[in-house]
Structure 1
Amino acid sequence: MKANRASGTAIVLIVIGALMLTGMFAPLLGRLLGLLFPIIMIALGYYGIKRGRVVIGTIILAIGILSLLAKLSWIIGPILGIALVIFGISLLKGKRGSYRS
């Protein structure tokens, strides 16, 4: 049996999938793979749009973006809170400065 690049990739994907299903990855590596899948979906959606498959590309891109946002929600919430506090402080400073001029 002659091995080529496609069969090698297929074997790697099968092994990674089997390890993911059995839960043998460390928690950190599992989280990284959890982030990798939405990023791959975003890339495939973008590639699909560039190749002219706009409908399926947009669907895959949207699913990837929503999945990535869900995975990163633990950091997006605090960042949004910090941004709102900074924006509110800048608005207060702007009002106070406009009365003096």
Structure 2
Amino acid sequence: MRLNRNSGLALLLIAVGSLILLNKMGMHTGHLIGYLFPVAMIGLGWLGIKNDRTIIGLILIAIGSLVLIVKLSGLIAILVAIGLIVCGISSLRRKSRAY
């Protein structure tokens, strides 16, 4: 099977359809489906901007981004906490070496 430009989109559609079908058949795919919708909105917004539908594209990207940020807020909070801890430890090490 040769992959060309349209093959990637076809494989993506097959994968997404398979995940939705598995979810409907009772094999829950977890939170993956919940992240799929905002990512699809962002992708459609980018496609809208690419096809000179700037306002609709920006609206879709904004809504999709906000929904994705809300869904990833727990992960973002963990990353911020780890960053604060690392920054605090490095600050303590710098002060202890100066004395």
How does the TM-score come out when normalised to structure 2? 0.62
CA distance in 2, matches of 1:48, 1:80: 33
Question: Over alpha carbons, which structure has the higher Rg?
Answer: 1
Q: Which residue of 2 aligns with 1:88?
A: 88
3-state DSSP class of the match of 1:52? coil
Query: What aligned pairs does 1:40-79 form with structure 2 within 5 A after superposition?
Result: 40-79=40-79
Note the aligned Cα RMSD (angstroms). 2.8
| Distance 1:96-1:60 versus aligned 2 partners, 3 A rule | same
Compute the displacement of 1:89 (Å).
Answer: 2.9
Compute the displacement of 1:57 (Å).
Answer: 0.5
* Unaligned ranges ≥5, structure 2: 1-12
Q: Which residue of 1 aligns with 2:10?
A: none
What is the identity, as a one-letter code, of the residue corresponding to 1:43? Answer: G
Deviations 1:28-57 (A, max 9, x none): x25211110001001111111111111111
> What is the aligned length?
82
* Unaligned ranges ≥5, structure 1: 1-8
**Could you tell me the percent identity over the aligned residues?**
44
| Distance 1:32-1:93 versus aligned 2 partners, 3 A rule | same
CA distance in 2, matches of 1:61, 1:25: 31
